């Protein structure tokens, strides 16, 4: 059983590692499901997974916030399959690993349909855990395979169980910390969340999803991984999705004032999407259940972010303040000590390097060139 990096004792003893773990047949093909794979982070994850010629990647997405355009270069590829599917309904396929990203992550979308959001978090996660259980994402799998290999009943060159990597990863969120009373936030902090606010469908939905993951881990021995992801930015973000980085960049490109919600001193930490994808894959392939914070600890006030966007993209735009939304956290910064120590991961892309890459993508989609 994988460790979560805390002092909790697992209810099931870990299986003895097979001496066959280093054999070549452990590199057999993987069938990997990415829910929400047509979305912003999901599509970048698909790109990275497809770089491995041994991977078959299946995307399940209902296009509520995702887009086929994000995956157009893979459509028709023999190792890629795209399924229009809502995870609130069961999915009957055979897979080896599940990256469960499906859920609206933008305030505009989850406030527009809060019931759908919490159903996706709770029922969708239950369905993916059911799929993981049915397809054998259990910690005992490598020991069972060794047993069957000795009996000569399994072809090790073709059977996925010999990978010993059958598992499900949930992308949870820094929103489980709510409006935090500790700073920065580490994984032992239980959070300060309003259970009845306008953001609760997302915040509490993710908290329940984490609970379900650990319940299946303890009761059924499912191999789980939980990533608590912090603010992420980069190409393919929805242009008008209400998140601060996409808002500022779109406004700067359109020569509109940058609208900073009061008081402007609230802070966020921004992780470039390639760093985020690398962190998720390291967590999936590692030996720790999590939860583990994946984010960039560089912290900026909203006014500082606006000044950076103005300087880098359009020095002529004005910065104005507007009323804030309810339950907006005052500060958010990840403690990534666990990610460094357990995953050997830390972000590499600085904000001032990532913003121009996002600008280029937005200009291309908006059809607005830079002024000469």
CB 224 within 8 A of CB 289: yes
The backbone torsions φ and ψ at residue 246, rounded to the nearest 5 degrees and listed phi first, read -65, -35
Q: What is the pTM of this model?
A: 0.86
How much is the pLDDT for 106?
86
Select the more confidently predicted residue: 83 or 145. Answer: 83
Domain edges within the chain: 24-230+271-297+331-349
Supply the DSSP symbol for 9. P
CB 226 within 8 A of CB 263: no
pLDDT over threshold 80, residue 17: no
Nearest to 73 by CA among 63, 59, 86, 91: 59
Per mean pLDDT, which range of 2-11, 49-58, 198-207 is the poorest?
2-11
C-alpha span between 227 and 174 (Å, rounded):
9
C-alpha span between 5 and 291 (Å, rounded):
8
Best-predicted range by mean pLDDT (20-29, 99-108, 273-282): 273-282
* CB neighbourhood size of 118 (10 A): 22
pLDDT over threshold 80, residue 152: no
pLDDT over threshold 70, residue 142: no
CB 68 within 8 A of CB 37: no
State how beta strands 267-269 and 299-301 pair. Answer: antiparallel
Average pLDDT over residues 318-340: 93
For the chain, the farthest-separated pair of C-alpha atoms sits apart, in whole angstroms, at: 73
pLDDT over threshold 80, residue 27: no
Query: 363: number of CA atoms within 13 Å, CB side?
Result: 15
- Residue 320, C-beta contacts closer than 8 angstroms, at least 6 positions apart: 257, 258, 259, 260
**How far is residue 44 from each of residues 68, 94, 109, 295, 304, measured CA to CA in Å?**
13, 23, 21, 16, 27
Average pLDDT over residues 159-163: 39
pLDDT over threshold 70, residue 107: yes
Please state, for a pLDDT cut of 90, what percent of the chain lies above it. 78
pLDDT over threshold 80, residue 16: no
Per mean pLDDT, which range of 26-35, 92-101, 286-295 is the poorest?
26-35
Q: What is the pLDDT of residues 65-94, one digit of tens each?
A: 999 999 999 999 999 999 999 999 999 999
Render the burial of 45-63: b for 16+ CB within 10 Å, e for the rest.
Answer: bbbebbeeeebbbbbbbbe
* CB neighbourhood size of 195 (10 A): 9
The token pair at 147 is: 């047993």
pLDDT over threshold 80, residue 162: no
How much is the pLDDT for 241?
87
- Residue 150, C-beta contacts closer than 8 angstroms, at least 6 positions apart: none
Q: What angle do CA 64, 69, 71 make, to 5 degrees?
A: 95
Question: Using CA atoms in the order 365, 367, 368, 370, what is the torsion angle rounded to 10 degrees?
Answer: 80
Average pLDDT over residues 26-47: 90
The fold of 24-230+271-297+331-349 is Rossmann fold (3.40.50)
Q: What is the pLDDT of residues 296-321, one digit of tens each?
A: 999 999 999 999 999 999 999 999 99
- List the catalytic residues: 202
- Residue 47, C-beta contacts closer than 8 angstroms, at least 6 positions apart: none
């Amino acid at each position: 059983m994988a460790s979560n990096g805390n002092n909790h004792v697992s209810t099931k003893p870990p299986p003895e590692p097979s001496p066959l773990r280093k054999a070549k047949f452990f590199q057999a093909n993987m069938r990997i499901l990415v829910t929400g794979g047509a979305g912003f982070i999901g599509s970048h994850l698909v790109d990275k997974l497809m770089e491995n010629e041994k991977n078959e990647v299946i995307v399940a997405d209902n296009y509520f916030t995702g887009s086929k355009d994000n995956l157009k270069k893979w459509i028709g590829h023999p190792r890629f399959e795209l399924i229009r599917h809502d995870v609130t309904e069961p999915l009957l396929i055979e897979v080896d690993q599940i990256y469960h990203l499906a859920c609206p992550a933008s305030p505009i979308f989850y406030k527009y349909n809060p019931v759908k959001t919490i159903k996706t978090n709770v029922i969708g996660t239950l369905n993916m855990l059911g799929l993981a259980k049915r397809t054998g994402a259990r910690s005992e799998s490598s020991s069972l395979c060794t047993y069957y290999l000795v009996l000569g009943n399994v072809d090790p060159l073709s059977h996925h169980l010999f990978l010993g990597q059958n598992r499900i990863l949930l992308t949870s969120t820094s929103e489980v910390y709510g409006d935090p009373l500790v700073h920065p936030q580490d994984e032992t902090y239980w959070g300060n969340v309003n259970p009845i606010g306008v953001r609760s469908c997302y915040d509490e939905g993710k908290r329940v999803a984490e609970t379900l993951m650990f319940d299946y881990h303890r009761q059924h021995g499912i191999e789980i991984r939980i990533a608590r992801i912090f603010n992420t930015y980069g190409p393919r973000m929805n242009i008008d999705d209400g998140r601060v980085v996409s808002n500022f960049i779109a406004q700067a490109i359109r020569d509109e004032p940058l609208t900073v919600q009061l008081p402007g001193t609230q802070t966020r930490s921004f992780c470039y999407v390639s760093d985020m994808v690398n962190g998720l894959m390291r967590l999936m392939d590692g030996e720790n259940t999590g939860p583990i914070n994946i984010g960039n600890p560089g912290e900026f006030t909203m006014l500082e972010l606006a000044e950076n966007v103005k300087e880098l993209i359009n020095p002529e735009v004005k910065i104005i303040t507007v009323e804030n939304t309810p339950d907006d956290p005052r500060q958010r910064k990840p403690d990534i000590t666990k990610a460094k120590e357990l995953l050997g991961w830390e972000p590499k892309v600085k904000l001032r390097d990532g913003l121009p890459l996002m600008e280029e993508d937005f200009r291309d989609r908006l059809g607005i060139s830079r002024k000469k």
